[in-house]
Amino acid sequence: MADVNVLEESGEAEVCAEEERERSPERQSVLQTAAQMNLPLWMFLKMVARPNSEPLAEDSIHGMDEENNSDTDSGNRDPVCYADIDMFCENEEGKTDQKKQKKKKKKKKKAYTEKFRVPMPSEVADNPVLRKYWAQRYRLFSRFDEGIQLDTESWFSVTPERIAEHIADRCRCDIIVDAFCGAGGNSIQFAFTCERVIAIDIDPEKLRLAKINATIYGVADRIEFVLGDYLKLASHLKADVVFLSPPWGGPDYQHSDIYDLNAMPGFEADQLFALTRKITPHIAYFVPRNANIEQLTALAGEGGRVEIEQNFLNTKLKTITAYYGELVQDGEEC
């Protein structure tokens, strides 16, 4: 009890009690034992609070946890003394403090995340088709919350970041043309692996979005944004590699068993390739996962090479990329 009071009192009374304690034989023996055992402070104080107790065995020290709170239940042990509780409480509080701190940190982190989490835009909220893509937004752009902007078509057309990153790695070169750049999913990644990216889109809104998104990734200055019709611009372009990711006619492409690459008016694969080959034979063609493989193979031409790559995300087949010319990796000839 005295110890408890000492802990709570201050001034003269505290000094007196302290002196008294200092003189007590128990204190002396405890101090000696503490020194011999090289005990930590909390242990030392616990022993002071147990005037006639033996030093706790090593096991008891390690066993000091919530279960030991029930000191009184433990048969041979001394009845609980207040100082014990104080020490224990201090210890418990320590633990509680840690928990509180952790909770606080978690709360802070959550608040931070909430603060910077982008709310679902109304055009997504109002469109059940787009909501699926919203759920995948961090797969599309890992830095989505930093201000990535997409319009309706881009939501379902943009290449998921991991896939775009992989394609960009395979297309390393000096100058690459991203013939249908959209909101920039591929162009951004090309900017990390190529010296120069020429990003073309027929829709000015797409270019606006692509610029914003490229700025977020810090690569806008490595991309030349060109507004225009690739089919018309192609004959004026020079590049080492061309990446083709034309519109597939929206998410409905999934409804056919085999997607006919020559069925898209304006973007028939044969025509697209005839034009692009005038720029370079090194072409990466991004097509639906149900694309006609025979058509992809035929595009390589007589004696030409093609590599057909399935792009998976979390074990789900998402898309196919067909590589032509020197983009085909050695030993993977078809």
Residues forming the site for ligand MGP (CB under 6 A): 156-160, 245, 247-248, 250-251, 253-254, 286, 318-319
For 264-282, b/e burial (b = at least 16 CB within 10 A) is: beebebeebbebbbebbbb
* The token pair that represents 308 in the structure block: 């057909």
CB of 224 to ligand SAH, least distance (A): 14
Which partner, ligand MGP, ligand SAH, none, binds residue 51 by CB below 5 to 8 Å per kind? Answer: none
Per CB under 6 A, the list member of 229, 270, 294, 332 interacting with ligand SAH is 229
What's the CA angle centered on 273, arms 169 and 313, to 5 degrees? 35
CB of 302 to ligand SAH, least distance (A): 28
Tell me whether residue 133 or residue 217 sits nearer to ligand MGP (CB atom): 133
| Residue nearest to ligand SAH according to CB distances in the complex | 185
Per CB under 6 A, the list member of 43, 200, 242, 327 interacting with ligand SAH is 200
Q: How many CB atoms lie within 10 A of CB 230?
A: 23
Indicate whether 183 belongs to the interface with ligand SAH (CB under 6 A): yes
Indicate whether 84 belongs to the interface with ligand SAH (CB under 6 A): no
Of 273, 283, 71, 72, nearest to 173 (Cα)?
283
**Contact assessment for residue 124 and residue 148, using Cβ atoms and an 8 Å cutoff:** no
> Which segments of the chain does DSSP mark as H helices, in order?
2-8, 11-23, 25-37, 41-48, 58-62, 82-116, 122-125, 128-135, 137-140, 152-157, 161-170, 185-193, 204-216, 230-233, 269-276, 293-298
Of 31, 67, 60, nearest to 47 (Cα)?
31
Per CB under 6 A, the list member of 185, 281, 288, 325 interacting with ligand SAH is 185
Dihedral angle over CA of 296, 299, 304, 307, nearest 10:
-20
Residue 209 CA to residue 146 CA, distance in Å, equals 13
3-state secondary structure of 198: strand
131 vs 57, 60, 125, 137, 249, CA distance in Å? 62, 57, 6, 10, 19
**Contact assessment for residue 292 and residue 258, using Cβ atoms and an 8 Å cutoff:** yes
Which partner, ligand MGP, ligand SAH, none, binds residue 230 by CB below 5 to 8 Å per kind? Answer: ligand SAH
Which partner, ligand SAH, ligand MGP, none, binds residue 3 by CB below 5 to 8 Å per kind? Answer: none
Per CB under 6 A, the list member of 31, 64, 80, 231 interacting with ligand SAH is 231
Tell me whether residue 88 or residue 286 sits nearer to ligand MGP (CB atom): 286
Per CB under 6 A, the list member of 202, 264, 293, 313 interacting with ligand SAH is 202
Tell me whether residue 55 or residue 185 sits nearer to ligand MGP (CB atom): 185
**Paired strand residues for 308:** 322
Indicate whether 273 belongs to the interface with ligand SAH (CB under 6 A): no
For residue 237, give every residue at least 6 positions away whose Cβ sits within 8 Å of its Cβ, in sequence order, or none: 177, 198, 279
Interacting stretch for ligand SAH, rule CB under 6 A, among 10-18, 150-158, 252-260, 277-285? 150-158
Tell me whether residue 88 or residue 230 sits nearer to ligand SAH (CB atom): 230
Tell me whether residue 55 or residue 184 sits nearer to ligand MGP (CB atom): 184
CB of 235 to ligand SAH, least distance (A): 13
CB of 258 to ligand MGP, least distance (A): 15
Tell me whether residue 17 or residue 227 sits nearer to ligand SAH (CB atom): 227
What residue ranges bind ligand SAH (CB under 6 A)?
153-154, 157-159, 180-186, 200-203, 206, 229-231, 245-247
